[in-house]
Structure 1
Amino acid sequence: MRFAPAAAALSLVFAMQASVGYGAEREPAPRAAQLVAEGRAALAGGQPQAATDAFEAALAVDPGYTPIYLDLAQAARREGLQGKAIAYYREVLDRDPNDYAALSGKGAALVEKGAIEKARTTLSQLESLCGAGCPETRQLAAIISQGPQPRVLTAEAVMPDAQVTQSN
C-alpha cells in the first residue's frame, strides 16, 4: 500500500511518454533522408524510374518512415501505374487512416484509373476528416470535376488489321 502513490505516478509518466512518442513524426535515418532527397530531385527532373529506385533504397534503409510510401506512390503515378500507386497509398492509410495526403493521392489515382465513383467515396471520407475547406479536399474535388484524362495512344497500339490477299 505504501508504494501505490509512487506506482501510480510512475505509470502516469510512462503513459504520457508513450502518447508523446506515438504522436510525434519521427525523422528518417540520415542515409534514408539522403536517398529521399535524391529521389525527389529525380522525380522533379522527370525521371520517375530513377526516383523509384532511390525511394525503394530509402525504404530498405528505413522501412518505418511512412512518407517514403507517398513518394513511391507519386513516382508510380508519373509512370502511369495507378494501381501500384493506390497500393502505396493504402500502406500509408494502414499506418495512419487520417493521412490527408494519402487520401487525396489515392482519390486522384482512382480518377486517373477511371474509377470516379470510388474517388467520390474517397472525397467524402476526406471531407468528413478535414472539411470542405481543406487544401487536399479542394484539390481532389477539382481533379474529380475534370474527370479522367484521355489516354494517349502509341502507333503500335493502333495497328491496322492485316489482310491477306491472294496474288495470281
Structure 2
Amino acid sequence: MKIYIFGKKFSSIQHAADVTRIRILMKHGGIYLDNDAVVTQKLDKFLKYEMTVAWPEGQPHLEIQILIAHKNARFLKLWYKSYQKYNGTMWIYNSGVVPAQQIIKPNPSLVHRVTDEFQVKQPESYHLLYHNRIAEKEWRTKYYLFHLNSRGQPMQFNETNIKTYYNGSFGDMARAVLP
C-alpha cells in the first residue's frame, strides 16, 4: 500500500486504504464492501449506474462502507484528483466531505445517490441493528445493506452460539442464513 498521495504522507493507514479502494475501483470497477457489512438483497440493480454512493439525507459527507462503480467512473477520477489537497488532520474530510460537497453537490449526475436503502448512517443504523427489532420482511425488502459498525476483530460466530446471540435485528439476520 502506498504511504504517499501526491507527495503528501498519509496520516493514517485508514486514509491510505480509502485511496486504495478508489484506485482499485478505477482499474477494475465492481462492488466494494467493508468487511463488517451485511448484504440483505442483491446489489446487481446498482451496477447499471456508472457510480453508486451512500449519502444519507441531512449528512454533509458520503459513507464509504459500500461503493459500486464502473471501471473508470468519472466520479472516481475526480475524487482521486481531489487528494491533491489531502488534509490528514480531519478524519472523514477527504473520503466523505470533499467528494460530497465539492464533487457531487455541483455535479449530481456523476453518481446514483442512495440515501436510505444502504443503512450506514450513524447512529441510526446502529440502533436499527442492535436496539430495535425490524421485521424480517422489512430488512429483506427495504434495505440492501447494513453496516455493523464493528471495530477490530468481529465476534467469532458458529452454528451453536449464533442461535442464542442477541435478540434483535442483527441476531435475526444472522440466524436467517442458518440451514
For the criterion TM > 0.5, the same-fold answer is no
Higher Rg: 1
TM-score (norm 2): 0.23
Which of the pair has the greater relative contact order for Cα pairs under 8 Å at 6+ separation?
2
TM-score (norm 1): 0.24
Structure with the largest fraction of strand:
2
Structure with the largest fraction of helix:
1
